[in-house]
Amino acid sequence: MSTSQEHQAYDFAYVQEKWLPIWDKIEPFKSGRPDDKRPKKYVLDMFPYPSGDLHMGHAEAYALGDVIARYWIQKGFNVMHPIGWDAFGLPAENAAIKRNEDPRIWTYENIATQKASMRRYACSFDWDRVFNTCDPEYYKWNQWLFIELHKRGLAYRKDSAVNWCPSCQTVLANEQVVAGLCERCDTAVTKKKLNQWYFKITDYADRLLDDMKELEGKWPDKVLTMQRNWIGRSQGANVNFIIEGRATPVTIYTTRPDTLYGATFMVVAVDSELAAELAAGTAAEDKFKQYRDSVKAASDIDRLATDRPKSGVFLERYAINPVNGEKLQIWASDYVLADYGTGAIMAVPAHDQRDLDFARAMKLPVRVVVKTDNEDPNETGIATTGDGELINSGALDGLNKADAIAAINKQLEADGLGKSARNYRLRDWLVSRQRYWGTPIPIVHCDKCGEVAVPADQLPLQLPDAKGLDLKPKGQSPLAAATEWVNTKCPTCGGAALRDTDTMDTFVDSSWYFLRYPSSTNHDEPFSRADIDTWLPVDQYVGGVTHAILHLLYSRFFTKVLHDIGMLGFTEPFTRLLNQGMVVMDGSAMSKSRGNLVRLSDELENHGVDAIRLSMVFSGPPEDDVDWSDVSPSGSVKFLSRAWRLSGDVTSSAGVDFATGDISLRKATHKALHDAAFAVESFRFNVAIARVMELVNATRKAIDSGPGAADPAVREATEAIAIMLSLVAPFTAEEMWERLGHKPAIATAGWPVVDEKLLVADAVEAVIQINGKITERIEVAPTITDSEIEAQALAHPTIIAALNGAAPKKVIARAPKLVNIVL
């Protein structure tokens, strides 16, 4: 029978307001008292950028991170689940320019807004460990780390043609150029020759690549593959070519030294110094300069179009092929990159498509030196890049590709003409930025002493006051105008010197922030070794796949550097990684301009925090995108109130002995606890929730048409439901817990211990197949053996009739599930 209490709608708004202040007092998510004996788990969500309030994407990411953190707490772990803000960067600076105020104001306001929203969203963060990367107390350690890298030659300056965003008026790292466009503002990126700071990430290329073995199966394959491709290790050989009229030979890089006899010309990168030098004083000089200028004028976008016709200029110079003495024309072209390999190549048009395209455009010879199954490239215009027997190649004739490479490398090395070499697609990390809102680079430039690091006791080197500074992008750092700040004394000689006016890429801030949380209040060092040894590495990292290369690669690099310095005892920062999908609307990313923006605050207002969290988690696998138009938050509300109503129906008292309860509901409860735990641990949160829903349905039935509300098994089931729900619907769970006669916080109540004996079903249904087709179903004991189930199947009247006297060729028994009779 139903009472009015049962039918009362579940009031999520009331429940939310009721519990927040109580949780503030209890603080269930404080981690890491030193005497804590529980095993540790470090669960980390990627920290947000404070650009306005939280949005639907945050709601998904933090719901997922919360399920994991709350699960491990229930499982008895000492969980650290911290949060902070990635607070330096361009949006704050642009907002500051627009509003004509200090970027600090916008930044800290947004942080306060987001923090309040996170509290309301019931994120299980440890609020004692919060920091913002724009706090001087944090960026002090950016500077300290920069100096440590500088000491070791891992931070250095060089002149180079860098990526330049004409709109942001700043340089960009390679990783921040997406298809030739600035990742931030989508402006076509140009090249500019500048003297800039770099971190020597290329020194770590091999380790970044090889250590990924450790991460296999723990990080998404996609991310590992992306990083491998990004690093782009290639194995080949450097070969020296004598240049007529030049004292020193030119070294080229090739991955196909076996095709050396097929080289018919040489190409140097048009924007390389070598090209300019070779062209100087020749009849081709004017034509070369003209060509070079036209290439410079073209944007990266034009350059990136691979199907565009090849262009180039013959430099009127010749190289000598070291293996056969042939005289080869030297051309300059933009299809050879100045900053990869040696900026010069031997062209083997028969076996490289780009060289072939160039050869055909410039009417240069094509010579086949590898016999493949494919047709002559001279006729087809398609280079034959596969393996085959070497021809027209002197001593290499008759060898296959691998043997020929080995043989020629050996010979080149013996003759001093070359040697095997490796190259990487990865370039050093350009870290200087010509913008205000970032960490000042802690270097003083002294005419006498050169680059001098700011002494540690003078850190943090604080940003000058933004007041009076023009932050508008103008190609030079706004800090340069802060003359009082710029003019300083050399820490070494005491003479007049100038501060470096660039700031650091904000990816520096995020490359080590996860090391700071355990020591967030440490004023003496970026982090203490004791804290690190207690908490690190991160057990579970949760965040978007957008950071697959940039942030994750840089963090891995920093971790290895800090390991080498002796500050860390491990070399990979994130043991496991979960990439959540995006929240989209009607199939496309939400945006104001598209008009499909769903406001998180509206959704929370309409359906409540728990229902939104539940909808996010239940919609599908966490890696998949959530299309909000496919999601039913009202369905979630319905389910939550169904679960909540159970807690009002239970009539047995807290502490009752479950052992005397209805056995079949007890079995359902223990199976749900077992299966949900397994599902959570394998990131199948949607399946975990399905198991809870099944238990809610079973419990409802037990109350209405089973053993009744007073049965202890009903209480056991309802308590289990509340605890499982606490991972995703903390308010509802806490309310249920109270109605069941318990004290807050349910978050730390503990996952009920699963009784293995209750996981065994009384009877299971087995199928009997004939030739793989289901013919009959029988009830069997779960403990039945293969031979017993086979005997039962063969003795079954339906089967005897179906066989009609025929003798089975073979019988496969898989107790207790199936018997397949093969005729």
Contact between 642 and RNA by CB under 7 A: the answer reads: yes
User: Restricting to residues 320-339, which ones interact with RNA according to CB under 7 A?
Assistant: 334-337
**Three state DSSP letters for 62-74:** HHHHHHHHHHHHH
Selected from 57, 65, 341, 537, the binder of RNA by CB under 7 A is 341
Selected from 45, 66, 258, 352, the binder of RNA by CB under 7 A is 352
Selected from 178, 530, 710, 801, the binder of RNA by CB under 7 A is 178
User: Restricting to residues 83-142, which ones interact with RNA according to CB under 7 A?
Assistant: none
Selected from 634, 653, 783, 787, the binder of RNA by CB under 7 A is 634
| Collapsed DSSP state (helix, strand, coil) of residue 579 | strand
User: Restricting to residues 516-545, which ones interact with RNA according to CB under 7 A?
Assistant: 545
How far is residue 212's CA from residue 219's CA, in Å, rounded to a whole number? 9
Closest separation between CB of residue 567 and RNA, Å? 31
821 with 770: CB under 8 angstroms?
Answer: yes
Contact between 820 and RNA by CB under 7 A: the answer reads: yes
Contact between 801 and RNA by CB under 7 A: the answer reads: no
Closest separation between CB of residue 494 and RNA, Å? 45
Whichever of 386 and 450 has its CB closer to RNA, that residue is 386
User: Restricting to residues 227-286, which ones interact with RNA according to CB under 7 A?
Assistant: 229-230, 232, 234, 236, 253-256, 269
Angle CA 16–674–577, to nearest 5: 70
Largest alpha-carbon pair distance within the chain?
108
Closest separation between CB of residue 454 and RNA, Å? 35
* DSSP letter assigned to residue 76: T
Spell out the residues 6+ positions from residue 810 whose beta carbon is closer than 8 angstroms to its own.
821, 822
Contact between 12 and RNA by CB under 7 A: the answer reads: no
Number of residues that bind RNA (CB under 7 A): 83
Selected from 152, 222, 296, 448, the binder of RNA by CB under 7 A is 222
How far is residue 489's CA from residue 495's CA, in Å, rounded to a whole number? 5
User: Restricting to residues 24-53, which ones interact with RNA according to CB under 7 A?
Assistant: none
Q: Which amino acid is at 396?
A: L
- DSSP secondary structure, 216-256, as one string: BTTB-HHHHHHHHHHH--EEEEEEEEEETT-SS-EEEEES-
Contact between 306 and RNA by CB under 7 A: the answer reads: yes
- Sequence-ordered alpha helix ranges (H) in 90-199: 90-99, 103-120, 136-151
- DSSP secondary structure, 646-708, as one string: HHHH--SPTT--GGGS-HHHHHHHHHHHHHHHHHHHTT-HHHHHHHHHHHHHHHHHHHHHSS-
Whichever of 34 and 217 has its CB closer to RNA, that residue is 217
Nearest alpha carbon to residue 669 among 655, 684, 658: 658
User: Restricting to residues 670-699, which ones interact with RNA according to CB under 7 A?
Assistant: 684, 686-687, 689-690, 693-694, 696-697
Selected from 765, 783, 785, 800, the binder of RNA by CB under 7 A is 765
Whichever of 123 and 821 has its CB closer to RNA, that residue is 821
Report whether the peptide linkage leading into residue 249 is cis, meaning its omega lies within 30 degrees of zero: no
Nearest alpha carbon to residue 513 among 108, 129, 63, 125: 129
Closest separation between CB of residue 419 and RNA, Å? 15
Binding mask 458-497 for RNA (x = CB under 7 A): ----------------------------------------
User: Restricting to residues 711-750, which ones interact with RNA according to CB under 7 A?
Assistant: none
How far is residue 82's CA from residue 628's CA, in Å, rounded to a whole number? 28
Contact between 778 and RNA by CB under 7 A: the answer reads: no
Closest separation between CB of residue 403 and RNA, Å? 18
Buried b (16+ CB within 10 A) or exposed e, 14-23: ebbeebeeeb
User: Restricting to residues 188-217, which ones interact with RNA according to CB under 7 A?
Assistant: none
Contact between 221 and RNA by CB under 7 A: the answer reads: yes
158 with 198: CB under 8 angstroms?
Answer: yes
Tell me phi and psi for residue 358, to 5 degrees: -65, -45
Selected from 303, 674, 739, 796, the binder of RNA by CB under 7 A is 303
Closest separation between CB of residue 237 and RNA, Å? 9
Closest separation between CB of residue 462 and RNA, Å? 35
What tokens appear for 611 in the block? 């229902």
For the chain, the residue count is 823
Whichever of 596 and 641 has its CB closer to RNA, that residue is 641
Whichever of 250 and 269 has its CB closer to RNA, that residue is 269
Q: Which stretch binds RNA (CB under 7 A): 85-93, 346-354, 467-475, 594-602?
A: 346-354
Bridge partners for 770 per DSSP: 773, 821
User: Restricting to residues 145-174, which ones interact with RNA according to CB under 7 A?
Assistant: 174
707 with 713: CB under 8 angstroms?
Answer: yes
User: Restricting to residues 401-460, which ones interact with RNA according to CB under 7 A?
Assistant: 423, 425
Contact between 372 and RNA by CB under 7 A: the answer reads: no
Alpha-carbon torsion angle 141, 149, 479, 85, nearest 10: -40
- Exposed, middle or buried: residue 2 (CB in 10 Å: 0-12, 13-18, 19+)? exposed
Q: Which stretch binds RNA (CB under 7 A): 93-101, 727-735, 742-750, 806-814?
A: 806-814
Selected from 140, 700, 734, 793, the binder of RNA by CB under 7 A is 700
Whichever of 99 and 814 has its CB closer to RNA, that residue is 814
Closest separation between CB of residue 438 and RNA, Å? 23
Alpha-carbon torsion angle 775, 781, 787, 792, nearest 10: -40
Selected from 772, 797, 804, 807, the binder of RNA by CB under 7 A is 772
Closest separation between CB of residue 335 and RNA, Å? 4
Bridge partners for 433 per DSSP: 503
- 620: region left, alpha or beta (phi > 0 left; psi from -120 to 50 alpha): left
User: Restricting to residues 564-583, which ones interact with RNA according to CB under 7 A?
Assistant: none
Q: Which stretch binds RNA (CB under 7 A): 302-310, 314-322, 524-532, 798-806?
A: 302-310
Binding mask 589-628 for RNA (x = CB under 7 A): -----------------------------xxxx--x--x-
Closest separation between CB of residue 532 and RNA, Å? 32
How far is residue 666's CA from residue 659's CA, in Å, rounded to a whole number? 9
